């Protein structure tokens, strides 16, 4: 039922801005978060758009654009995460 309902939900630029500033994204630069939200929400076929934080887009479209933006990725398991953390600690990153 949740998947069926999510097809009809919408999200807006303001909501995306809020989520992009929190984990796991943690984007700190205000301009970057605004541009990313606009890229995901605003239709690409329009030549000129005025920014509207309340402009909404269907969730399936948001997901599709976001997938293209992120690209392919793999999730690390706990062992890989620990190995990378140890390597970073050895070079003084942490």
Would you call 61 exposed, middle or buried from its count of C-beta atoms within 10 A (0-12, 13-18, 19+)?
Answer: middle
Domain ranges of the chain: 2-90
- Cα–Cα distance, 24 to 42 (Å, whole number): 23
pTM across the whole model? 0.59
Structure confidence by residue, pLDDT tens digits, 50-65: 878 788 888 888 889 8
pLDDT digit string, tens, across residues 2-40:
554 444 567 777 777 777 777 777 778 888 888 888 888
Closest CA to 24 of 86, 56, 70: 70
Alpha helices in the chain (DSSP H): 2-6, 13-21, 30-41, 59-70, 78-90
Q: Which two tokens stand for residue 71?
A: 């690209």
Does the pLDDT at position 1 exceed 50?
Answer: no
pLDDT value at position 5?
A: 44
């Amino acid at each position: 039922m949740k998947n069926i309902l999510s097809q009809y939900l919408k999200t807006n630029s303001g909501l995306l801005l809020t989520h992009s500033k929190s984990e796991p994204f943690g984007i700190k630069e205000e301009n970057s978060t605004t541009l990313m939200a606009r890229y995901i929400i605003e239709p690409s076929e329009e030549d000129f758009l005025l920014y509207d934080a309340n402009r909404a887009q269907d969730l399936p479209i948001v997901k599709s654009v976001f997938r293209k933006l992120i690209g392919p990725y793999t999730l690390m398991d706990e062992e890989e995460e620990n190995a990378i953390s140890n390597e970073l600690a050895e070079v003084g990153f942490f």
